[in-house]
Amino acid sequence: MDKQWYVVTTYSGHEESVKEKLEMRTESMGMQDNIFRVIIPETTEIEIKDGVKKEKKKKMFPSYVLVEMIMSDEAWYIVRNTPGVTGFIGSSGKGAKPTPLLPQEIDKILVTMGMSRMDIESEMAVGDEVKIVDGPFNGMEGTINTLDLENNRIVVMIDLFGQETSVEVEPYQVAKK
C-alpha cells in the first residue's frame, strides 16, 4: 500500500497538542513505517503593529491536522484514539476507513507552506522516468536529468517537437512512471 494524506479533525485549538501526541504515539508504538508526517497547515503573515513588523503564523484550516500514512487497521486505530482527535474527514463512521486527499489537493496545501508531497532526495534519482502531471508540460513524459535539492527543483528531459528539451519543474509537478 502507498502512503497517502488524510485529514484528521481535532478539538478547536488542540492542533499542536494532537500533533505532538500523535508523533509520540507513533514513536512509542513503533509505527514509523505506517505514520510518516503530521502537519498543521499554516501560512506566515506579516503584521505591522505600531510600526513594527511581526511574522504571525495563521492556521489555514483551524481544527484540522494532515497525516501522511499508510492506512492499516493499526495506524487508523492509533490516529483515531489519540487524545484530542475527533475523527477523520471522508469517513462515513461505523468503522469505515476514510478516503485520502487527492494528490492535487495536498500539493496545493503543501506548496503554500513551501513543502512537497515527495521527498525528492529519497524518492527520485537522476535517470528515473517520470510523467509531468501539472503545469504547461502536463501529460508529457521524460527522464530526470538533474535534482536541485537546494532549490527543490527537478530538471526533466522531454521530447518536444522531436527534439530533446530540458524543462525545470517542482517536485509536485511530476509522478514516477
For residue 45, count CB atoms less than 10 angstroms from its CB and return exposed for 0-12, middle for 13-18, buried for 19 or more: exposed
The sign of the torsion formed by the CA atoms of 54, 43, 3, 87 equals positive
H/E run at residue 43: strand 42-49
17 and 96 co-located in one domain: yes
Structural domain span for residue 170:
121-176
CATH of the domain at 28: 3.30.70.940
Domain count, the chain: 2
pTM: 0.71
Q: Do 111 and 68 share a structural domain?
A: yes
Separation of CA 77 from chain center: 21
Burial class (CB in 10 A: 0-12, 13-18, 19+), 110: buried
For residues 100 and 36, state if they share a domain: yes
Could you tell me the three cell numbers for 19?
A: 500533533
Same domain (yes/no): 125, 112: no
CATH of the domain at 171: 2.30.30.30
pLDDT of the chain, 177 residues: tens digit per residue = 688 999 999 998 999 999 999 999 999 999 999 999 999 999 888 888 888 888 888 899 999 999 999 998 899 999 999 999 998 998 776 777 899 998 878 888 887 887 766 666 667 788 889 888 878 888 889 999 988 877 778 899 999 888 999 999 888 788 777
| Same-domain pairing of 11 and 84 | yes
